[in-house]
Structure 1
Amino acid sequence: MSQTILYARVSTADQTLDHQLVHAEEAGFDIDEVVADHGVSGISCKLADRPEGRRLFDKLRRGDVLVVRWVDRLGRDYQDVTDTIRAFMRRGVVVRTVINRMTFDGATTDPMQEAVRDALIAFMAATAQAQAEATKEAQRAGIAAAKADPRRYRGKKPSYDASMLSVVQDLATKGEGTSAIAKVTGLSRQTVLRIKSDPAAAQAALERWGS
């Protein structure tokens, strides 16, 4: 029995799985299952290298329909997107997009339809890469501009305050281990490790945020 699977990539705080599912259903898709990767960058990570992306390759069978918001969900650049779509089509999987309502079906045998399909894959993959490159360039430009003005560049807001920083440093001085400190303070082990390895930087981060 064939199934329709929505693959979603939720990489930022303002993206939600529910939002992508609702859009797919509003577009007329009857979704049987949702497979989603959270906190994964599509710019730097191939679909096959993402935890749930790998599972997607294992799940899909001939006759299944893979629904994605747009083709940029399927790869990090032009080559990756086109290779992924063609790999699914060779398996007999139909790839459909919510945006633009595009359908990529490997069962097409008419030469003209194949040519149109392949041209659309190439065009959409190229557009996805262009947008990804523009995003990366905007990020680089924004970071460079912010760093040029130290008053604006603050980095990520610390998950601790001044009193918590003091507790971590005090416990570390007493020889407490990273896991024990994390348990007492409620901070992650990574945060505790960063504070222990560079207390001055931890303090500077608080000062940048006025904490």
Structure 2
Amino acid sequence: MIMKLYYAETFNPRKPCAVAKYLGSPVEYVRVDLARGEQMNPAYLAINPNGKVPLLIDGDARLWESGAIMAHLAVKAGSELWPSDRAAQVEVLRWLSWDAAHFSRHGGALYFEYVIKPYLGMGGPNTAAVDEANGFFKRFAAILDAHLATHDWLVSDRLSIADFAVSTPLGWATQARLPLDGFDHIGHWHERLMALPAWREPFPMQQMRTAAA
């Protein structure tokens, strides 16, 4: 059965798009134009009341939240991107939770200030918000960097959906002006990820727009 994956070339949809491409999942991609507010159309809100992307429809299942969608795609494909070992599954959940609360949260704040606001004509970056995000991002990047000093990948030294999730800010490292200087192990991890076509170019059509650059 063909699944439908609703996406935009933005932060959170990058995760399931990359996983779907990596797995070769049978997915029909449906682009939602955020600039035109399509995510708030009544027809879309009827299937995702959050009014956000991504969204996966698989038969009767309607899944929002990128972590759940990535896990579903991996389980459906029988892939170790979602580990079969239960202890490793807990580790993946730990990194997904840490990422949402810390790393991608603050990386996403910089992405919003430097990428999304100009794209939507919302004015320049808020200095106070940038300073706060930079401080928190560096704090949590140090934790990630220390872990990667002894691991090639985040969980069980094999690629998992945790890597696709936590790496998301790096897809806009230059544009979002992420403060990554001195975090060499994150840099090496980034190089390994860049070797994966699905991570490097996750979207079905590379829309060369400010928000997707």
TM-score where L is the length of structure 2: 0.30
Structure 1 or 2, whichever has the larger Rg, is: 1
TM-score where L is the length of structure 1: 0.30
Between the two structures, name the one with larger relative contact order (CA 8 Å, sep ≥ 6). Answer: 2
